[in-house]
Structure 1
Amino acid sequence: MPPMSAPPDLRTGTEGVDRRGALKLFAAGAAALATGCRPQEQMLPYVDMPESGASSDAAFFATALPLAGAARGVLVESHQGKPTKVHGNPDHPASLGGTDVFAEAELLALFDPSRSTSPIAGQAPVTWSAAAQRLRAAAGPGTALLTGPVASPTLARQIGALLDEVPGLRWFTERPAQPALEVQAGPGAMDRMQLWPDWDRTDVVVTLGADPLGPGPGQVALTRGWSRSRRNRRSAARLFAFEPVPTLTGTKADYRMAVRPEDLPGIAEALRAALDGGSDVPAPVARAAEALSAAPGRAVVLPGPDLPIETQALIDEINRTLDAPLARLAPAWRWPSLAQEDAGALTDAIASGEVERLVVLGANPAYTLGEAFEEAARDIEILHFGERRDETAAMAALHGPLHHPLEDWSDLRALDGSAALVQPLIEPLHETRSAHEVVEMLRGRTGTGPRALVQETWRAEWGEDFDARWHEALSRGVIEGFPVGTVSPDWPADTAVSETPDGAFAHVRQLSTSVLSGEYAPNGWLQECPAPLTKQVWGNAASFAPVDAERLGIEEGDTVVLRGGGTFARLPAVILSGQAEGTVGTTLGYGRKAAGAIGSGVGMNTAPLGPRVDVERVDGGAELIRTQREFGQHDRDLLRSVTDAEAGLESEHHQPASFYRERDHDSPSWGMVIDTDVCSGCNACMIACQSENNVPVVGPEEVARGRHMHWIRIDTYDLPGEDRRGFQPVPCMHCEKAPCEPACPVAASVHDEQGLNAQVYNRCVGTRFCQANCPYQVRRFNFFDYSDSQAYADLGADLLQAMRNPDVSVRGRGVMEKCTYCVQRIEAANHAASREDRPIADGEVVTACQSACPAEAITFGDVTDPESAVSRAKENPRHYALLEHLGTRPRTTYLARVAPGAEEDEGA
């Protein structure tokens, strides 16, 4: 299904004048880029406006965005030459039409005023020609190149040529932190493989510390594959999770068991014994083994990235015995033909004098490698190239700003091995360069732009078919027929499970669902995006099992100090149901010192603490800012559940009696159904809505007052009797009997002819009566002029104006805001259907939250059409309305989650 009401226009442009950049964004400020090594490509205003050039029309372009060293294919919506919205590309295997929070937030990263704008040496600006001279002088023995994870075939080709041309040059690679299903494939640090399950052939999944539905470059594809598998084979599909700290995967598991990290190897051994016919194993393990045995060729065991190599080898043996539908692929960042070294060895190489100069390209070792790197690298020359002045740039003799991916030409591999082209959506906003150009400078070459460099790679690959295949790849956003590398693991001969030392708490470090491993810390949308299970924003916390919190006298919001690895971290405490006793959970990516005005000083860096920590409760010093503070349902059936054996809910389609007459609606009349059984709480819908509807960031102080502005939230509830939490997205309910409407003294809240509960912003006077009358609490009040004067005020809010969706008004201070079912998309479909004299087709209107959802949990359409997808969803026996006893007749309704039966779940 295309992401917008109109079919995507995947035009690729032509040689010479690039019509995608037909209008320069800033005629005065960005018209003249400083001279340097890159020849400027010509971008001119329109002479004759093309049909799609009107302000209300959007063009779509296929490209790819990197995340932790791998690609996700996207379609980027463009209005008059500037990108305004990111959508998933249905043709790309790493997105399949969905997005994640990081892809949606790339627009803010592009227009972020805190990005670096020009090269500097020390505190003095320099030209790119001077930067190129310093790079050429640095190329020689004693020099090391440190990059982030390189998933670009073109960049890998350039680095290979560089290594051949410069004797003694060494290449170190920063591997992505804990990517989903990337595990050891041998004893070396670079011996890694990416596991990729075939969900179409998978009925049973057992995870041992793995989080395939969690944040990372595989989240969208893995979540979509899992949700489709669950829908297609609900009676057979089963997910078993053994994990120390709750994950998104664990919340969706049919059977979940909390175990300490040191117990996971024993769980793997017990699973192997049970599959071999052993009976002396824990009941949950025996149940998982029974399900695996009953699905030969359709069952898989997924290991976590931190398991010992001996356990990884054992799980690989189990999967081969099961004939698991699982591919073992080379990681997207791994190039076996090149001499890649792990960044972990860089500090020792600098300290020993082997590395005298360091060129850093798209990496931040001062943060990722910590104080040891800073101490060792204090006296060497560092030339740093990145999108912003981070911790490493502060140490560097030279800093050069790089393009944002939406300004660049490149290519990228995805986790599944597929490749895609990266094409720019806009001319560079600042005096930046491509990473491809920087490597060419290091080679002593200038004058070749990134587009030509990428074309060189694929011209050699495609030969005479280059022109046709190049334009096809640009149009579709994926390269057909690119060879996918596989891995044959090289396991050590001794596979005995090693002993884990006793003492203190096991420290479980997880990727942040908001800032990943720190690279998204400068992004205000993501800092204000709540953690799914704790609802914390603007920082990280230490999570404890309830039994440990009681023993230590810790209450939620208390400050604790974690000590380990020769350092400490001071964090607020949260108590998390379903966490294993004896564990402390933290999230990575915080504690940045140089992440701009938005991300600097937010949270604490817990990576240096190591796998074991001591815990001490102290007074004050850490603040827990949350968008939700109560997780109990208090005997209200808000997030409902049914079991496999039940036909549906007892209160099926319950509609209370009303004194009001039924309101007749002509077609189309809109409604939405959200399937809580497959919603994984990933927050993609929330950031997609923020991007689509120009929802502002308000900052930590305002959130602490309860004034967050998100138009859709995801409520998280403790599930009675299941020792875990579940998710319920809550946009505006669009009630047919809306309590907000009669309360408004100026008729700013009204019902329209299409069944929408509309909000007339320029009529609202801010009485907030509608908010007080709304039982769902989905209305937001603009206490301040958040759009222009809050979190980004001192950074240059004018730059952010270009990012905003021109089809949605930017609300000023003193008005109520709310979800509108993306009425601008509805109106675009109405206009298109009217021009063509036809009705709107089912599925033609897709809301922003619906198009982003990787689990396809949201269905939207015309409720007056009995054959529409949304009408069929409302006939599902699991269908119910939130707070239906109030008689508001909401148009937004839900499907109950499916839980295992009480007898089946006993002991899990």
Structure 2
Amino acid sequence: MNVLNFAAGNLGETVRFGADLPAAGGLAPLAELTRAMGAGEIAVALVHEANPAYTLPNASGFAAAFGKVGLKVSTSLHLDETAALCDLLLPEHHALERWDDLRPRAGVYSLMQPVMEPVFNTLPAGDVLLRTARAAGGALARFDAPTYEAHLRSRWQALATELGAGDFDTFWHEALRLGGAFRDPPASPAIALSVSGGQEARYTPPAFEGEGDFVFIAYPHSMLYDGRGANKPWLLENADPVTKITWHSWVEVGPGAARALDVRNGEILELTSPHGTVEAPVYVYPGLRDDVVAMPLGLGHTQYGEFARGRGVNPLDLLAAPTGEFVHYLSTRVRVRKTGGYRKLASVEGVPRQLGRGIAEAIPLAAAQQGLTVEQAYMEAGRGKHEVNTERELEAVHGWAEEQREATEYGDYRGEDPQWGMAIDLAKCTGCNACVTACYAENNIPTVGEAEVLRGREMTWLRIERYWEGGEEPGDPVSARFVPMLCQHCGNAPCEPVCPVYAAYHTADGLNGQVYNRCVGTRYCANNCPYKVRYFNWYKYNEKAWPEPLHLQLNPDVTVRARGVMEKCTFCVQRIRGAQNHARLEDRPIRDGEFTTACAQACPSDCIVFGNVRDPGSRVAQLQQNPRGYRVLEDLNVRPAITYLAKVLHPVEA
């Protein structure tokens, strides 16, 4: 990548290198520590914010060596694999309950401050160390700060002097407001391309240990990373963006490998390396090479908590002990054997391909630069959209909705109120699921567990649909398109007229509302919703989802729904009403961008934009006029309030 940036002239311009900070640690010293522990040379070990008994391969021998330490102390918040081996557990404050600071790179000094009182009788790890230092006396007595907060503040006084900040109180309060102190990093050194001996740089294939026809890759789980998030039900039930699997491990194989092994999704494969064996159900991944098998990290915990323990397998069992500074996630060949077992994948995938429905549209870069609409791009490419006569479709429904609205005032948007809508740019969506997790948190959505997911009863109001394009024949290129799918708040909503108790209704500002205490659970609305974005509470999920003290995380502005009630996206109506009340107190209209939905707020790529589409100057109204804009299943004439902007295909993709 650096060579490509050098050739493109980006180094020192769009890509700048700052000064490196000294490394705080690495795996090379850990190997020496493991040797010393195994030899009985370590009397006391303190484990802080680490779980090496899980995150290191079994081949490293860490767990056995750690057991030979005289006194083992952990400050972990969880009874994880390493904490379970310790003699003394001193759980520290959660990150939201304590003071701390970090320095991720040169010029950046981050400051953490507590946002809530401690829930349990815990102490910051810094306070534990300060008390131990005072009790030990001697040279350690110089750490005489009464608390870790006081110690941290004294460090920042020295930092203020170092940065020439002047008055400390002003510097401190500004750091609290901004979340730290930020200075320009040192200038990048001159970048030059150096090829040893003047020889042309050549690719050298890696050497893999072990036998077998497949190269094994262990990669960080998109939700759980290396396993640190494995005890969070939100993340376990948040589907992997590509495979759409939740709650358990899987083995990815390419289509050619699946044919050679004669396996289909869900059949159990056994993977064997020189260091261990694991078994997991297979997922046939169209984008994977046929000589590779891959597994996500993050599962296979033997401790750590109720939700993580005993769930899935740990692919690190197949890897060698780390040498140098890194775990070798791509270093091993494995033998793959079909066991004959089967496990249904806990997948939330619907239909893997669009089947001509125009859900995840895309247009070539050239068409986007010309300002062509999706329809025009299809025509220019010589193929009609949906393979039907669109003009005839529109003619058939023209005037019908208007006639219905003239006959009754029920469900009609009045016109003088704001009209809330959304624009979602598929060219920016990466499928990361940040919006899904934000929706869980904002709207008190319960997790239902693997068994209910297998029945198709997941409750997430917002889902990321993934559709495969290409790859239907061996050797064909394949790509994935992501579409955030939520209630479309249709102007002509098919869910509303079928509700016998008027639980589904239309608000004056264009929302498709839901009255929970009217709902009797007929589920007619879900049957009539073409987007399938209504969710039914089959059980009283909240008792298991939020046992004390987890009920403290609930949003007090949102009702916790009961068994037998239908629910769906509300466009964060609690935020809308809060902003309206605030604006009313100041006798003014709501300003564009004054508030937004939880999904739009959390989106790291600014894919989702929310606002008043009746305001022509609003950002959402302008985006809805973009030539790339289209509405999903628009031919049904339900008049959705969400406009999607088609993905832009760059030449290499087109």
TM-score category (smaller protein): 0.7 to 0.9
Match of residue 452, structure 1, among 133, 146, 150: 150
- Relative distance call for 1:648 and 1:385 in structure 2 (3 A) is same
Q: CA deviation at 1:352?
A: 3.3
Q: Could you report, residue by residue, the CA deviation over 1:805-831 in whole angstroms, capped at 9, with x for unpaired residues?
A: 111111111101100000011001111
- Relative distance call for 1:388 and 1:812 in structure 2 (3 A) is same
Q: How far apart, in 2, do the equivalents of 1:650 and 1:457 lie?
A: 58
The answer (yes or no) to whether the contact 2:130–2:148 under 8 Å persists in 1 is no
Residue 432, structure 1, aligned to residue 134, structure 2: no
Q: Helix, strand or coil for the counterpart of 2:75? A: strand
Q: Helix, strand or coil for the counterpart of 1:673? A: strand
Q: Could you report, residue by residue, the CA deviation over 1:176-230 in whole angstroms, capped at 9, with x for unpaired residues?
A: xxxxxxxxxxxxxxxxxxxxxxxxxxxxxx59xxxxxxxxxxxxxxxxxxxxxxx
Q: Could you report, residue by residue, the CA deviation over 1:540-593 in whole angstroms, capped at 9, with x for unpaired residues?
A: 211111111111112111111111142111111111122122111111111011
Larger gyration radius, structure 1 or structure 2: 2
Q: How far apart, in 2, do the equivalents of 1:705 and 1:415 lie?
A: 47
1:762 equivalent in structure 2: 517
1:627 equivalent in structure 2: 348
Q: CA deviation at 1:513?
A: 1.3
Q: Could you report, residue by residue, the CA deviation over 1:281-335 in whole angstroms, capped at 9, with x for unpaired residues?
A: xxxxxxxx7x985xx433xxxxxxxxxxxxxxxxxxxx68xx762325536x824
1:174 equivalent in structure 2: none
Alignment of 1:393-412 (within 5 A): 393-412=83-102
Q: CA deviation at 1:345?
A: 3.3
Q: How far apart, in 2, do the equivalents of 1:339 and 1:590 lie?
A: 23
Residue 468 of structure 1 aligns with an amino acid whose one-letter code is T
The answer (yes or no) to whether the contact 1:657–1:887 under 8 Å persists in 2 is no
Gapped regions of structure 1 (runs ≥ 5): 1-205, 208-271, 273-288, 299-318
2:636 equivalent in structure 1: 886
Gapped regions of structure 2 (runs ≥ 5): 136-143, 320-330, 377-389, 406-411, 472-476
1:378 equivalent in structure 2: 67
- Relative distance call for 1:636 and 1:345 in structure 2 (3 A) is farther
Which is worse superposed, 617-626 or 668-677?
Answer: 617-626
Q: Helix, strand or coil for the counterpart of 2:256? A: helix
Match of residue 9, structure 2, among 297, 300, 303: 297
2:379 equivalent in structure 1: none
The answer (yes or no) to whether the contact 1:419–1:482 under 8 Å persists in 2 is no
Alignment of 1:298-377 (within 5 A): 298=10, 325-330=15-20, 334-335=23-24, 342-371=29-58, 372-377=61-66
Q: How far apart, in 2, do the equivalents of 1:779 and 1:527 lie?
A: 21
Residue 421, structure 1, aligned to residue 111, structure 2: yes
Which is worse superposed, 443-452 or 722-731?
Answer: 443-452
Q: Helix, strand or coil for the counterpart of 1:813? A: coil
Match of residue 648, structure 1, among 359, 367, 372: 372
1:477 equivalent in structure 2: 179
- Relative distance call for 1:458 and 1:368 in structure 2 (3 A) is same
Q: Could you report, residue by residue, the CA deviation over 1:327-347 in whole angstroms, capped at 9, with x for unpaired residues?
A: 25536x824xx9996324322
The answer (yes or no) to whether the contact 1:330–1:487 under 8 Å persists in 2 is no
Aligned residues: 586
Match of residue 785, structure 1, among 540, 557, 563: 540
Q: CA deviation at 1:671?
A: 0.5
Q: Helix, strand or coil for the counterpart of 1:519? A: coil
1:840 equivalent in structure 2: 590
Q: How far apart, in 1, do the equivalents of 2:16 and 2:265 lie?
A: 41
1:829 equivalent in structure 2: 579
Q: CA deviation at 1:350?
A: 1.6
The answer (yes or no) to whether the contact 2:374–2:629 under 8 Å persists in 1 is no
Which is worse superposed, 353-362 or 398-407?
Answer: 353-362
1:802 equivalent in structure 2: 552
1:554 equivalent in structure 2: 263
Q: How far apart, in 2, do the equivalents of 1:837 and 1:541 lie?
A: 56
Q: Could you report, residue by residue, the CA deviation over 1:120-167 in whole angstroms, capped at 9, with x for unpaired residues?
A: xxxxxxxxxxxxxxxxxxxxxxxxxxxxxxxxxxxxxxxxxxxxxxxx
Q: Could you report, residue by residue, the CA deviation over 1:757-792 in whole angstroms, capped at 9, with x for unpaired residues?
A: 00011111111100010010000100011111x355
Q: Helix, strand or coil for the counterpart of 1:401? A: coil
Q: How far apart, in 2, do the equivalents of 1:394 and 1:853 lie?
A: 37
1:680 equivalent in structure 2: 430
Residue 128 of structure 2 aligns with an amino acid whose one-letter code is V
The answer (yes or no) to whether the contact 1:592–1:605 under 8 Å persists in 2 is yes
The answer (yes or no) to whether the contact 1:328–1:488 under 8 Å persists in 2 is no
- Identical columns (%): 37
Match of residue 252, structure 2, among 528, 540, 543: 543
1:639 equivalent in structure 2: 360
TM-score scaled by structure 1? 0.61
Q: Helix, strand or coil for the counterpart of 1:651? A: helix
TM-score scaled by structure 2? 0.84
Q: How far apart, in 1, do the equivalents of 2:561 and 2:512 lie?
A: 18
- Relative distance call for 1:417 and 1:593 in structure 2 (3 A) is farther
The answer (yes or no) to whether the contact 2:175–2:181 under 8 Å persists in 1 is yes
Q: How far apart, in 1, do the equivalents of 2:203 and 2:653 lie?
A: 30
Q: How far apart, in 2, do the equivalents of 1:485 and 1:537 lie?
A: 45
Residue 500, structure 1, aligned to residue 206, structure 2: yes
Q: Could you report, residue by residue, the CA deviation over 1:236-271 in whole angstroms, capped at 9, with x for unpaired residues?
A: xxxxxxxxxxxxxxxxxxxxxxxxxxxxxxxxxxxx
- Relative distance call for 1:450 and 1:340 in structure 2 (3 A) is farther
Alignment of 1:185-196 (within 5 A): none
1:269 equivalent in structure 2: none
Residue 303 of structure 2 aligns with an amino acid whose one-letter code is A
1:571 equivalent in structure 2: 280
Q: How far apart, in 2, do the equivalents of 1:760 and 1:579 lie?
A: 46
Q: How far apart, in 1, do the equivalents of 2:26 and 2:276 lie?
A: 34
Q: CA deviation at 1:423?
A: 0.5
- Relative distance call for 1:693 and 1:905 in structure 2 (3 A) is closer
2:328 equivalent in structure 1: none
- Relative distance call for 1:529 and 1:905 in structure 2 (3 A) is closer
Residue 365 of structure 1 aligns with an amino acid whose one-letter code is P
Residue 467, structure 1, aligned to residue 169, structure 2: yes
